[in-house]
Amino acid sequence: MLQIFAITLPFFALVAAGYLAARRRVLPLEAIPGLNVFVLYFALPCMLYRFGARTPIAQLLDGSVALVWGLGALLVVMATVMLTRRGRIGWNDAAFGALVAAFPNTGFMGVPLLAALLGSHAAGPAIISIMFDMVVTSSLCIALSRLDTAGEAGARHALAKAFRGVVINPLPWSILLGALASALQFRLPAPVDATVSMLADAAAPAALFTIGAVLARSALLARGSGGTGTPAGDVPLVVLAKLLVHPLLVCAMGRAAMALGLPLDPRALTVIVLVAALPSASNVSMLAERFGADNGRIARIILWTTVAAFFTFPLAVRWMT
């Protein structure tokens, strides 16, 4: 157990450093969007491209992993919406609560952390989960969030807007280019490869520091906007769904699929269960703000899943390995 903590502690320490830097205004809040741009458009795409290019194409096209992960994500979305959409929680807030319960922080935190814990074979299943969550889970929840105001027409419009967001997001394209490079066994020219490697090496520390800064910024902005009217039991419920229900559900579905004869590699199942045990994705807070949801509620869920995961994630690693 101490070996697991020795690996996970630096990752969470960098998140804490970013949080404290922004909270104490050592890092100006106005600088955080710039950090996000560097991570999202430069460092993280290079890291994902490199993982994709170095991963056998069969692992990146594993339909068993996609099926188990996808069904688990959709069940978490449905269950969270059903449990939280009551009283003052409408479709908008329920949908983003469901998204934050089903969308782990795989890109910013999960890929480098799981590679450090399990080795390079963890990249393939983790990348599959990223693609599904960016294309399907987030698009579905954004569409559901529009049912409050414009019914089915609004949902269709939101779904189209979500897909446009996927198209301009550099992360899916970097994954696809990495997969293509893997399939063709293509290697970048040495100077280009060195540049990509430098940016890729910067991705993990910059992304983790940025997660903390984004969480602090969201907390400060939510405090400044006053009360949110969120039911008292709602945030712990979603935190529990993210850190406990989601990984247990993925594990149970994976083992059931293997018992039914689905060709799911046990090592791949371990990876996606640990992906499900990660804290919530920090970018959901920005999506919630953009679509007018209760961003204070979403920020608290992300913050508490991140804090709690410092303790629960090593336990999940110990359980699965």
Nearest-Å Rg of the Cα atoms of the chain is: 19
In the predicted model, what is the mean pLDDT of residues 219-247?
76
Q: Which residue has the higher pLDDT, 169 or 179?
A: 179
**Domains: count for the chain:** 1
CA distances from 203 to 40, 113, 179 (A): 9, 12, 19
How far is CA 100 from its chain centroid?
Answer: 8
Note the pTM of the prediction, 2 decimals.
Answer: 0.89
- Domain range for 223 is 2-320
Work out whether the CA dihedral 173, 142, 38, 55 comes out positive or negative: negative
Burial tier of 307 (Cβ tally within 10 Å: 0-12, 13-18, 19+): middle
Mean pLDDT over each residue of the chain, to the nearest integer = 89
> CATH number of the domain that 64 lies in?
1.20.1530.20
Would the pLDDT of 152 be above 90? no
Q: State the Cα–Cα distance between residues 21 and 18, nearest whole angstrom.
A: 5
Would the pLDDT of 162 be above 90? no
- 285 — pLDDT class (breaks 50, 70, 90): confident
**What is the DSSP secondary-structure string of 32-93?**
HHHHHHHIIIIIHHHHHHHHHHHS-HHHHT-HHHHHHHHHHHHHHHHHHHHHH-STT--HHH
In this structure, which amino acid lies at residue 270? Answer: T
- 12 — pLDDT class (breaks 50, 70, 90): very high
How far is CA 138 from its chain centroid?
Answer: 10
